[in-house]
Chains A and B, each alone.
Chain A
Amino acid sequence: MTTQSLELNVAAEFTRTPGPRKRSEGEYSGEEFLSLLLRPRFIAALEAGVSLRVNLDCAAGYPTSFLEEAFGGLAREFGSEKVAANIELSCDDEPYLVEDIKKFIREAKTTR
């Protein structure tokens, strides 16, 4: 278990109004978040041997498609166990989101 972590704040670094699943469907998509921030930061955390702490507070709300594409997409790429072991989620605004995202990571299929 790592004791240090890299930070990723969705509202401060990406948007306060997360959008749809794919770039083609609109702005601030889960696909865009995955490629611009989540994947690079996750790789950096793995290389540094620390966990990635994702803060989901201060956004207007998270569509299921955004969360599934971003976190499920990361799990499809790196494997559910690896992602679950190296990512920490925090959301005081919507505490139940943490469980929802863990489910997306756990149940990520190879294609969606």
Chain B
Amino acid sequence: MRWLIGGLLLVIGALAGWLLPVVTGLQLGHTVEVGSLFHALATLVVALLIGYLYSEHSSSKRADTGLLLESLREAKAAFAALQQAALPCHRTKKLTQQEQTALTVAERELSNAIHSFEYAVSCCKIRPHLIDVDKLKDARAVLKDSLTDTPFPGPYDASARSRINSSFKSVRDELTGIAFAVSRR
């Protein structure tokens, strides 16, 4: 599309240059210097090359951003599912066998989604300081420990429940921060 617009502008410019003397009755000299023609051509080639390279870089970056955001959406969905599975931890009773399994399965889904996101980041040409996956992984590890280390399988006391809440918050904050970093890069 960009090339089409460029070509159209070129044609309009040529037509305007040809029609202007006819319409206005201006007398223009038509001497052509070979050196100036070469300069103009060289400038045109450089401009086209820069436009082409920028267009390539820009579309590649857009594709990477789309893929990273898709991968991040999966991590956010897994995070939401884990929040649901962790609701029974806030009761003052021990988790049932079914709840224990649901919790460990949901935790594994989140861990795998974060692992996949890390892989996706490694596939893109991103400067490491822009997206801090290590902080997200650390927050994930703390969340896993808060849910499935002692006192798993419960009952979780007030301090354990507080630790679960703050761990969830840390992971959510990291996911949000990364989403902004990916969108703005």
Contact = CB atoms under 8 A, between A and B. Distances in A.
A, B: real partners: yes
Given A26-B97, A94-B111, A96-B111, A63 B105 contact: no
A60 B104 contact: yes
How many chain B residues sit at the interface, stated as a range, is: 10 to 19
Contact of B148 (A17, A60, A64, A96): A64
Contact of B149 (A18, A65, A93, A96): A65
A61 B141 contact: no
A64 B145 contact: yes
A95 B101 contact: no
A93 B22 CA distance: 76
Contacts of B169: none
Contact of B105 (A21, A60, A65, A66): A60
A65 B148 contact: yes
A25 B115 CA distance: 30
Interface string B106-145: 0110011001000000000000000000000100010011
A24 to B, nearest CB: 11
A100 interface: yes
B88 interface: no
Nearest to B112: A94
A94 B113 CA distance: 10
B153 A20 contact: yes
A62 B149 CA distance: 10
A34 to B, nearest CB: 16
A21 B152 CA distance: 8
Interface string A1-36: 000000000000000011111000111000000000
B93 to A, nearest CB: 13
Interface of A: 17-21, 25-27, 60-66, 68, 93-96, 100
4 cross-chain pairs, A with B, having the tightest CB-CB distances, nearest first: A61-B104, A63-B148, A61-B108, A64-B149
Interface of B: 97, 100-101, 104-105, 107-108, 111-112, 115, 137, 141, 144-145, 148-150, 152-153
Given A60-B108, A66-B148, 4 more contacts: A21-B150, A61-B101, A61-B107, A65-B150
30 contacts: A17-B100, A17-B101, A19-B100, A19-B153, A20-B100, A21-B150, A25-B153, A26-B97, A26-B100, A26-B153, A60-B105, A60-B108, A61-B101, A61-B104, A61-B105, A61-B108, A63-B104, A63-B148, A63-B153, A64-B144, A64-B145, A64-B149, A65-B148, A65-B149, A65-B150, A66-B148, A94-B111, A94-B112, A95-B115, A96-B111
